[in-house]
Structures are given as structure tokens and as C-alpha cells.
Chains A and B, each alone.
Chain A
């Protein structure tokens, strides 16, 4: 059984956000919920400033505090290392959100995609209402509904339960890459089996010095980051007093 992991090459990542967009489409993710997101930071003092961009998603930790704390095993580990969630067992206590050090689990405070239920159109008789659009496309809740998501998890998750990235388990089961990996125009996301010494993931981890988010908390994330984007150089110096 493989043990899936992802390497994110920060030198290749251009911060375009196509991972997040493709994730939303693939998994029918609602407004305000981010299975794929980012952490941005700036360093330095003006005019010497630098912008950092770190793409984020569920880390599918080997030692996941969300799974340990879930009272009903709604949050659970699959044999292939994916941290999965079953909305049918979730009681909505949000203890997983409290336990997750990465802030990647979201609670559905209300019905998903509620904006698409509106019947009012912007210009009456000219533009269609969101609800009409949904009806026209035959979508379920949203015009761009992806029925494939429904194979292993509710296509659209109900209100009152949590949700998060699943490494696109429904695609991985069919031998496909997670959608964010496939959609990345810079090939900054590399997905593979940690237990296979020849996998591209292991080749990159052996070539570069990887880091993971908040390693000190001991969760053993399966998302690794390598390199850092910087086209800048600087003249050799020892500084000064």
C-alpha cells in the first residue's frame, strides 16, 4: 500500500492560485471554505521588502491530532496515508479545528453555495438568476458541479459538519493525480509514494533540504516544501557597524 505525500517546490511556484481554483471546481468547495489556500508574508523594511508565498492544504499528517481527537472516527486515516473525513459521522463539535495546528479544516456554518440559490437576476428579463443558471446547466447546487467528487465523499457537504482537503482521494483511487497537482502550470506540486524509494517525491526529498510546517508540534506532515524562489543576488559583504 502506498503512502502518499506531496512536495511543493517554492522556487517553481509562481503564486498564480490555479491550485486553489482547480480544487474548488474539482471538489465543489463552497464560498469561504479553502481546501487549498496560502500563507503570505512580507519581510524586510521598505524599500527593501520581500514577499513570500507558501501554498497550503491539509498536511495529511502521519500523527494527526484531528484524528486522535475526533470522538466518532469521522476524521480518520486511510491505509494510503490520506486523512479522510466522513460527514455522516461528524457531530460538528469542531474539536478537529481546535486541534489542527495548520488551520486547514473548515466548518460549514450554513448551507453550501447559498448564493447560487438566489432567484433574483441582476437585470430582469436580460440576465439569468443564479438559480436559473444552475437549472440550465443541470448542476447540483452549482453550475459547475463535479459528480465525481460524490464517489468517496458527499459531493457537496451539508451544513453543521467540517470539511477539508482529501488529496483528491477519488482521483488517486483511479490512478490520477490530485487536481491541484495536475492543474499547476509550473509543475510546482509533485505527488507520489513515500514508501517507494524511486518515486519522484523521494528523489526530490533526497536532493534538496525539505521543510514542513510547524514541525515542532510533532504531527509529521506529508506535505514537504523544497527550495525558495529568489532571483535576487547581492554583492559579497561582511556587513558593517
Chain B
């Protein structure tokens, strides 16, 4: 009980720091972030991308029993859908603190621009959130809705690939511009979604002290193996991205990505996010242990978080056009404490919502 109170207290502290940051940002201005006219997208946006792709990955997992009829995954359906909601709300918090004039989002409805991928993302996320709430309500009342499941699956594909389109449209920044990201994003999202589900399930099992049935144990081992395979696939794509965009390319526009290769976020992404989880989860004796699964999933999530930052920075650290006047060829970046608080805010909101669900909504329940 004491541990739980401490946990809730820590999350509330994170939220209070986030609220204070919100107040400061909207009164003082965005100059509180480590931003210049060059670094227009930084940690708050990369955290949003991390959350939104993790949520899409969870949606893919929740589609296994509903869309593809793999019934044995139904036992984790409720937890997965609830986790999707919590993660999505975390992403909304970070997005809100990225936008300069969030009250104007009403013009997404009043003055729509369908040629903008950002407009589509906003519409899709709104629909996604409503559908998720409806799906969870159905599951909570003991039923799984196939229609909602299929719609959520389709929207998750569209949100994660539209994010690829959004960045693929930026002809001026080839580092971000690659249709490549339209499949890299869903795949990495699936990896982080799996890691999140494994991590939260393992923590629940450990804290609840419940005996795990053989069937469930086999299911978690299967998830862990899948996570290792997906992380391995991503590692291959990651290396190809490094070779094609960073090592073999002679285009000056790739200077930002070339600079990021070898940086701290790049190495965290590769070693912690991809290599370690792949290796750990492909060794059967480690895969079956709780500590092995927890280590691999935490490592993957930390790596993916750093990876999203590496990706965003690789697109903005090299100034373009007149912005390059009087500036170095590559602009360095170190997040400010306010940016860190924005990320902390997102995590605290997500974890608090999840903790409340775990406490009151019986996430272990299996729908009919």
C-alpha cells in the first residue's frame, strides 16, 4: 500500500511539474524550449511520435484476436486496448505542449485542408480515440466488437503511415523525406507496442503475486519471441537507412543525418533499442524469464524513445536557406529542463491513467 501511494505521489509530482511547465510556456513563450528558428521540432514532438507509434503498435496487437481470429490473444485484449488509450492520452499531452496556439485547432474543422497530412492525422487521431473508448467500453462490459476492432486496426495503419507521409512530403529535408518511413514507422510502432504490453503485463504479474497459468506463460513467451523478431527486422532496416542515407549518400541535404550517426540518441536506439532486445529474446533461456522480458522490453522502449528524437533531430539540425546565415553547418541541441518536463508530463499522465485502470477496471478480465 505504501509503495502504491509513493508511486501515485511520484506520478502526481510529474503532472504538477507538467502543469507548471504548461503555465510557463503559455505565459512566457516557447523560448523556454531549447529551440532556435532552426530547431523547430525537438523533444516534445519526438515524445509525441514515440507515444503515438507505440499506441499504433498496441492497436496492431489488439487486432490479432479481433481481425485475424487468433483467439489465444484474447486474454490480453482488455489490457492492450486500455494501454492504447493511456498511451494516446500521453501523446496528446506532448502534442499540446508542442503547438504554439492549441486553441486554434478548432480551425482543423472550420478550415480544413485535405491536402495536408497533418490535417488527416488530426482527423484520424480524433476518430481513433473515440473508437478506442467505444471498444474498451464494449470489452469492459464483456464483449469484443469485431467492427470496432477492424476500424481500429485500419486507423492504426493509417495513422502510423500518414506520419510517414507527413515527413515524406518534406522535399526540402530528404533526411525526413522517405516513403521508407511509411513502413518503418508501423514496424517500429509494433516493436514498441509489444514491449509496452510485455512490460506492463510482467509488472502486473510481479506486483499481484498471482500464479501464471501455463497457457498465459506460453503466450507471453510467444510475445517475447515476436518482439525479438520484430526488433531484429527493424535493426536490418535501421542499418540500411544508415547506409543509404548516411554513409553512401553524397547529397548535402543528408548532412543532418550524417551528423546524427554516432550521436548518443543514435547509439541508444541501435544498441539498447534493437540489438539488446533482439539478442535477449532470441535466447530461449532468457526469453522465458520475467527479468529477461522486462529487461528486453525496457531496453527497447528506451531505445525507441531515443530513436524518435534522433529521427526528428536528423531533419532539423542542418539549417536551410537563409536560416543558415551566421549559423554553423550543424546546430547542436540539448533539451532544456522544460522540455524534459513535457516528456515527463506525458509519461506521468499515461502511467497514472494506466495505474487507475489497473486498480479499478480489472484489466486481466477476458471478454467473451
Interface residues of A (CB under 8 A from B): 32, 34, 37-40, 56, 65, 68-74, 87-95, 97-104, 106-111, 158-162, 213-214, 217-218
Our pick among B118, B315, B321 for the contact of A103 (Cβ within 8 Å) is B321
Q: Which residues from A are CB-within-8-Å of B28?
A: 110
Closest Cβ of chain A: how far from B110's Cβ, in Å?
8
Q: B322 and A38: CB pair below 8 A? A: yes
A99-B170 contact given A71-B113, A71-B122, CB 8 Å threshold = yes
| A34 CA / B173 CA spacing, docked (Å) | 21
Q: B105 and A69: CB pair below 8 A? A: no
Q: A111 and B29: CB pair below 8 A? A: yes
Q: B29 and A110: CB pair below 8 A? A: yes
Q: B319 and A72: CB pair below 8 A? A: no
Residue of A at shortest CB range from B28?
A110
Bitwise, B350-365 to A at CB < 8 A (1) or not (0) is 0000000000000000
| A101 CA / B104 CA spacing, docked (Å) | 25
Contacts of B223-270 to chain A: CB distance below 8 A: none
Q: A71 and B321: CB pair below 8 A? A: no
Knowing that A39-B325, A90-B101 touch, tell me 5 more A-B residue pairs with CB under 8 angstroms.
A56-B321, A92-B99, A93-B118, A100-B320, A103-B321
Interface residues of B (CB under 8 A from A): 26, 28-31, 33, 35, 37, 40-41, 98-102, 104-105, 107-108, 110-113, 115-119, 122, 166, 169-173, 176, 315-316, 319-325
A101-B100 contact given A71-B108, A72-B111, A91-B107, CB 8 Å threshold = no
Our pick among B107, B176, B321 for the contact of A89 (Cβ within 8 Å) is B107
Q: A98 and B41: CB pair below 8 A? A: yes
A102-B320 contact given A91-B107, A108-B100, A160-B30, CB 8 Å threshold = yes
Our pick among A38, A65, A74, A162 for the contact of B325 (Cβ within 8 Å) is A38
Our pick among B116, B171, B176, B315 for the contact of A71 (Cβ within 8 Å) is B116
Q: Which residues from B are CB-within-8-Å of A88?
A: 104
Ordered by A's residue number, 24 sampled pairs between the chains whose C-beta atoms are within 8 Å are A38-B325, A71-B119, A72-B119, A74-B104, A88-B104, A89-B107, A91-B101, A92-B104, A93-B118, A94-B100, A98-B41, A98-B170, A98-B172, A98-B176, A100-B172, A101-B320, A103-B320, A103-B324, A109-B35, A111-B29, A158-B101, A160-B29, A160-B100, A213-B321
Closest Cβ of chain A: how far from B205's Cβ, in Å?
41
Closest Cβ of chain B: how far from A225's Cβ, in Å?
14
Closest Cβ of chain A: how far from B24's Cβ, in Å?
12
Q: Which residues from A are CB-within-8-Å of B119?
A: 71-72
Residue of B at shortest CB range from A159?
B29
Q: B171 and A94: CB pair below 8 A? A: no
| A197 CA / B172 CA spacing, docked (Å) | 32
| A106 CA / B30 CA spacing, docked (Å) | 13
Q: A73 and B321: CB pair below 8 A? A: no
Q: Which residues from B are CB-within-8-Å of A217?
A: 171-172
Q: Which residues from B are CB-within-8-Å of A40?
A: 325
Q: Which residues from A are CB-within-8-Å of B176?
A: 98
Q: A107 and B31: CB pair below 8 A? A: no
Q: B31 and A109: CB pair below 8 A? A: yes
Q: A103 and B319: CB pair below 8 A? A: yes
Q: A159 and B100: CB pair below 8 A? A: yes
Q: Which residues from A are CB-within-8-Å of B173?
A: 98
Max count, chain A CB within 10 A of own CB: residue among B40, B101, B122, B324: B101
| A160 CA / B102 CA spacing, docked (Å) | 9
| A204 CA / B124 CA spacing, docked (Å) | 48
Q: Which residues from A are CB-within-8-Å of B111?
A: 72-74, 89
Our pick among A91, A103, A218 for the contact of B322 (Cβ within 8 Å) is A103
Q: Which residues from B are CB-within-8-Å of A98?
A: 40-41, 170, 172-173, 176, 315-316
Q: Which residues from B are CB-within-8-Å of A97?
A: 37, 40
Q: Which residues from B are CB-within-8-Å of A214?
A: 172, 321
| A113 CA / B359 CA spacing, docked (Å) | 51
Q: Which residues from A are CB-within-8-Å of B100?
A: 90-94, 107-108, 159-162
Max count, chain A CB within 10 A of own CB: residue among B115, B122, B321: B321
| A89 CA / B320 CA spacing, docked (Å) | 25
Q: Which residues from A are CB-within-8-Å of B122?
A: 71
Q: B30 and A107: CB pair below 8 A? A: yes
Our pick among A65, A95, A101, A158 for the contact of B321 (Cβ within 8 Å) is A101
Q: B102 and A91: CB pair below 8 A? A: yes
| A150 CA / B170 CA spacing, docked (Å) | 32
A65-B118 contact given A73-B113, A88-B104, A101-B320, CB 8 Å threshold = no
Closest Cβ of chain A: how far from B173's Cβ, in Å?
7
